[in-house]
């Protein structure tokens, strides 16, 4: 299937690549470019560049690059045809298909979305105008959710009838299998189509691009159904682990503030919006998942939990710390007055709602405060017991420096020597370092080179500037490094896929292993270690150098080796040693050997 070429160019000309990318990435103006954190790999400093004039983007870290169609393909995980259709719909451009028309999958998805949109409107109009929805309107009015609020969030009412919505949708031309596939109806024991939701206030759920995909239905007080909330089941257009209620409304403010607030329920999100804090979202009947965090990272680097994070932290704290490191996000917790949730505060004290977000504390700090708050310190036993309980929580964190700082705070609180608790914090990290799996043909002595290859795949911009071919003595890792260097110059596709496409079988195997290796070390430490080892090896070989200039340069290299062990001077020393290595190993005449020139 294809489009008329002029249509593609019309879509391209009508679309701002900066506006599209800003829906997923926080960009700031930098000269003629817009710059931000790359959404395709984890990085701390922005290497992702967008140029409006050329309609192109490029990440100088992971080398991702392309036009607006490529970006939508990669970020939404769709094909080229779907990206063109998506952007054409946004620009209100009708496409002309040259072969075959739309695929069946795309046609089906459009039908499902269309049925959901009609249901959203039907439920909404029922809430606004139907006499049988009076109780629902009264309830929403008491909760501050009537009028403009109900209209903005398109709240609705499902009547206490068996098939009112189903009949309406069938009359509108929707097939019964569409209704069941999207979760709006089901076939009952009498073999009749029956509505999935009855006698409930309806909260429509939208994807982040605004497509209606599901519903959450709340029973009215005194309703017969014991389930307070009933949520749509997962369908072909709705995946709970990938959907966040309210993100379609919140994302612009989330990007501007570089912060997103995660709530428990629909009314909490609406409460934040009513209070002027319009960057709140909620999970849809599930706990926060890694997929949610991955999606949120597209928009912001700060995540504030606006629910019972203490309960969430029980048994799940390591996941939060892992996500913080993996996705470079900061997780903090908003503390609300006892017994109050965001929906309540939006009515009684909106200022307190905003203050709770402004005063959010780091996730670990929140958990430690829960342990120590209100605990008696009447005896030495009380103090020792509290210190032990606090350190148990503190030692869940993977960063030894963070642990030591919190340990110092606890020591001051309970009156113990800081050094004692600091040693406990250090001891937690004294476990053996997990070594990455070694590829076939790579010996134990070569494992540092394998780790460097793994880090190139997982964190290119943090280690690539510190690596050159001379650091890879072993044949297969050296070829893998050169393959990755070549692949990094390819403008489209991922670094790994491009490298696998040009790799020989041995290099392909090491790349595949490196791509899934669990590496938990600082990239700079690996690079500095390789530089030091390589320089020492070459210096040990250069025993018969007679040229005064080279003798002087080698003496300087030995001084820089000492500086390499000093945290303050390590990076400058590494730069100097890399230049020395380049001169020793890449100049004509083989100046890295033992021969005299």
* pLDDT tens, residue by residue, 547-568: 777 788 888 888 888 888 787 8
Q: In CATH, which of 3.40.1360.10, 1.10.3720.10, 3.30.70.380, 3.40.50.300 is domain 242-367? A: 3.40.1360.10
Among the listed residues 24, 53, 19, the one whose alpha carbon sits nearest the alpha carbon of residue 40 = 24
C-alpha dihedral sign at 488, 492, 496, 502 = negative
**So what's the pLDDT on residue 532?**
86
**So what's the pLDDT on residue 431?**
36
Pairing type for strands 259-263 and 280-283 reads parallel
Tell me, rounded to whole angstroms, the distance of Cα 177 from its chain centroid.
35
Q: Is the pLDDT of residue 429 over 50?
A: no
Name the strands in the sheet holding 212-219, side by side, starting at the edge strand that comes first in the sequence: 156-158, 200-206, 212-219, 229-231
- Per-residue pLDDT, averaged over 533-546, amounts to 78
Question: Which of 25-39, 107-121, 171-185, 507-521 bottoms out in mean pLDDT, i.e. has the lowest?
Answer: 507-521
pTM of the model: 0.60
CATH numeric code, 104-238: 3.90.980.10
Q: How far apart are CA 167 and CA 159, in angstroms?
A: 13
Instruction: Give the model confidence (pLDDT) of 405-420 as tens digits.
Output: 999 999 888 888 888 8
Tell me, rounded to whole angstroms, the distance of Cα 100 from its chain centroid.
37
Instruction: Give the model confidence (pLDDT) of 104-141 as tens digits.
Output: 667 788 899 999 999 999 999 999 999 999 999 999 99
Q: Is the pLDDT of residue 18 over 50?
A: yes
**So what's the pLDDT on residue 203?**
97
Q: How far apart are CA 485 and CA 469, in angstroms?
A: 10
Q: How far apart are CA 246 and CA 268, in angstroms?
A: 10
Share of the chain above pLDDT 90, in %: 31
Return the domain boundaries, the chain. 5-90, 104-238, 242-367, 374-427
Among the listed residues 257, 255, 217, 252, the one whose alpha carbon sits nearest the alpha carbon of residue 233 = 217
Q: Could you tell me which residue, 435 or 105, shows the higher pLDDT? A: 105
Most confident of 171-175, 432-436, 539-543: 171-175
Tokens of 424: 């406990």
Query: Was domain 5-90 assigned CATH 3.40.50.620?
Result: no
């Amino acid at each position: 299937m294809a489009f008329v070429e002029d249509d593609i160019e019309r879509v391209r000309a009508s679309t701002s690549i900066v506006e599209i990318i800003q829906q997923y990435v926080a960009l700031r103006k930098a000269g003629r470019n817009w710059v931000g954190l790359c959404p395709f790999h984890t990085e701390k400093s922005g290497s992702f560049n967008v140029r409006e004039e050329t309609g192109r983007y490029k990440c100088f870290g992971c080398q991702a690059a392309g036009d607006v169609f490529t970006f939508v393909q990669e970020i939404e995980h769709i094909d080229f045809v779907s990206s063109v259709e998506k952007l054409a719909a946004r620009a209100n451009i009708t496409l002309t298909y040259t072969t075959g028309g739309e695929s069946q999958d795309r046609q089906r998805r459009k039908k499902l979305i269309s049925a959901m949109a009609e249901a959203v409107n039907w439920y909404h109009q029922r809430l606004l105008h139907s006499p049988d929805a009076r109780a629902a309107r009264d309830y929403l009015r008491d909760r501050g959710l009537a009028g403009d609020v109900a209209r903005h969030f398109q709240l609705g009412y499902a009547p206490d009838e068996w098939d009112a919505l189903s009949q309406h949708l069938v009359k509108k031309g929707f097939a019964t299998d569409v209704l069941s596939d999207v979760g709006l109806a089901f076939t009952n024991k009498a073999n009749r189509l029956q509505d999935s939701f009855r006698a409930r206030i309806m909260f429509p759920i939208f994807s982040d691009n605004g497509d209606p995909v599901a519903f959450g239905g709340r029973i009215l007080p005194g309703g017969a159904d014991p389930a307070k909330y009933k949520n749509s089941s997962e369908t072909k257009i709705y995946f709970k682990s990938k959907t966040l209620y309210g993100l379609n409304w919140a994302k612009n403010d989330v990007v501007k503030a570089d912060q997103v607030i995660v709530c428990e329920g629909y009314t909490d999100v609406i409460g934040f919006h009513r209070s002027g804090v319009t960057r709140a979202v909620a999970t849809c009947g599930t706990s926060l998942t890694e997929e949610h965090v991955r999606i949120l990272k597209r928009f912001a680097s700060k995540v504030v939990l606006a629910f019972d994070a203490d309960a969430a932290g029980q048994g799940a704290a390591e996941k939060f710390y892992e996500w913080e490191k993996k996705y470079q996000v900061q997780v903090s917790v908003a503390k609300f007055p006892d017994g109050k949730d965001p929906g309540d505060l939006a009515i009684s004290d909106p200022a307190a709602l905003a203050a709770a977000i402004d005063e959010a504390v780091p996730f670990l700090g929140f958990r430690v405060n829960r342990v120590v708050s209100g605990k008696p310190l009447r005896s030495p036993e009380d103090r020792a017991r509290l210190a032990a309980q606090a350190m148990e929580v503190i030692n869940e964190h993977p960063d030894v420096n963070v642990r030591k700082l919190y340990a110092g705070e606890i020591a001051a609180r309970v009156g113990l020597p800081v050094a004692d608790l600091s040693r406990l914090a250090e001891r937690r990290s004294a476990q053996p370092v997990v070594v990455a799996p070694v590829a076939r043909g790579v010996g134990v002595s070569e494992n540092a080179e394998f780790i460097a290859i793994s880090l190139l795949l997982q964190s290119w911009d943090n280690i690539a500037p510190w690596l050159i071919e001379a650091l890879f003595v072993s044949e297969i890792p050296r070829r893998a490094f050169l393959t990755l260097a070549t692949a990094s110059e390819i403008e489209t596709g991922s670094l790994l896929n491009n490298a696998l496409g040009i790799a020989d079988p041995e290099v392909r195997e090491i790349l595949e292993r490196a791509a899934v290796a669990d590496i938990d070390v600082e990239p700079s430490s690996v690079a500095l270690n390789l530089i030091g080892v390589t320089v020492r090896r070459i210096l040990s070989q250069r025993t018969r150098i007679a040229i005064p200039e080279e003798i002087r340069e080698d003496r300087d290299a030995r001084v820089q080796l000492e500086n390499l062990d000093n945290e303050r001077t390590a990076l400058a020393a590494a730069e100097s040693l890399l230049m020395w290595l380049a001169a020793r190993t890449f100049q004509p005449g083989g100046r890295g050997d033992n021969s005299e020139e």
